[in-house]
Amino acid sequence: MSHAGFPPVATPAARVLVLGSLPGAESLRRREYYAQPRNAFWTILGAIAGAGPGLPYTARLARLDAARIALWDVCAAARRVGSLDADIERDSIVSNDFAAFLGAHQAIGTVLFNGRTAAALYRRHVLPGLPPRARSLTLVELPSTSPAHAAMSLAVKTERWRHAVTHAIGGDPA
């Protein structure tokens, strides 16, 4: 089944871009990034930037904007059965237009990947076609917030994410 992603969440002041691979089934159904309740993304971003799952979705997005954190996915569209990144059909991937996005968001200096798949897809499908400035951004692969990545505790994931976000924006985002 072919799935289309969402538009980016970003302001011109964004300093860091968080990238996933492609929204899962629950996110697509609700039209919200990281809508799967067992996904730790909003719990982690709640601890870092006050964008916790207890807030309405629009308030969480506003907190990300205030913290200078942009949010998007590598894939604009792809075929996948279910919600697992491993099930994305690699030959069906259409990547988002990062050259245009990064050209319009010049303050972004760091790309944080929500997991190994997002990082690999970006390096394979996006990075080679970017202009020099965009190819020189700092790229950081972080542990996936997906419930499928249960080998690492929430506390360790949160600290890795906190360190990366704090370093990327030059201070505490909260």
The ranges assigned to domains in the chain are 2-169
Span 140-164, mean pLDDT? Answer: 91
Give the active site residue among 36, 39, 146, 158: 39
Q: What is the pLDDT of residues 84-129, one digit of tens each?
A: 555 566 666 779 999 999 999 999 999 999 999 899 999 999 999 9
Residues 150, 9, 162, 53, Cα dihedral to 10°: -60
Residue 26, pLDDT above cutoff 80: yes
pLDDT band at 72 (very low <50, low <70, confident <90, very high): very high
Least confident segment among 2-6, 15-19, 66-70, 114-118: 2-6
Q: Domain 2-169: which CATH class?
A: alpha beta
102 alpha carbon, distance to own chain's centre: 14
Pairwise pLDDT comparison (49 vs 152), residue with the higher score = 49
Distances (CA, A) of 113 to 20, 56, 127, 139, 159: 6, 24, 13, 8, 15
Host H or E run for residue 124: helix 116-125
CA gap 26, 82 in Å, rounded: 10
96 is a catalytic site residue: no
Span 3-31, mean pLDDT? Answer: 91
pLDDT band at 149 (very low <50, low <70, confident <90, very high): low
Span 59-76, mean pLDDT? Answer: 96
Provide CB contacts within 8 A for 37, sequence distance 6+: 26, 53
pTM over 0.75: yes
Mean pLDDT of the residues in the chain: 90
C-alpha neighbours within 13 Å on the C-beta side of residue 37: 1
